[in-house]
Structure 1
Amino acid sequence: MSEVHNWIKETVTQHPVVLFMKGTAQFPQCGFSGRAIQILKACGVNDLVTVNVLEDQEVRQGIKEFSNWPTIPQLYVKGEFVGGADIMNEMYQSGELQTLLKS
């Protein structure tokens, strides 16, 4: 496992909710990342950790390999990969995401 994969693994296991995104929670730099932040806020997530993949090319590539998922944003809850903005939106609409985040 590469250094960047080790770092990603540590990050997602040490924090309950981690969003790998383009930009920051305050200034998302793509529509999907912005939507992901809106969904998490609507779910009442307070202790969200965000990682701006635009700041580090290794992390940006590494997270895609780590999750075997080609797009950003990527949500992790309790160390488990949940999905991107579309999956988050579907889970939010069904109430599944709120349940996952509360447990």
Structure 2
Amino acid sequence: MRQVAVGLLFLSLVGSASAGWAQRRGVSADSAAIIRKPTKLSRQERRELERRAAEAEKQRAAAPVLSAKDKEVSEALFVDGVKYVTLEDYPKALD
């Protein structure tokens, strides 16, 4: 009886693992064409993308330049924050 139950369990598990589950399905030709097909942007969309890129570049360029002392203080505060987050210093983290 036990062997029959184990056999049925095995068959049900093997039967549920069909080829669709075991193998990755290939990309159909239609979806592959859609993926590879380049899209043309309108003039307005291109200008908007250029404006956003320029704005992002300005923000990167406007990042403050820290002195060595400011950089050291910033790194120390970051390390202390990481210690508190990981609860290495639990009593101080509660304060």
Under TM normalisation by the shorter chain, which class is it?
under 0.3
Q: Which has the higher contact order (CA 8 A, sep 6+)?
A: 1
Between Structure 1 and Structure 2, whose CA radius of gyration is higher? 2
Larger relative helix fraction: 2
Q: TM-score, normalised by structure 2?
A: 0.20
Point out the structure with the larger strand share: 1
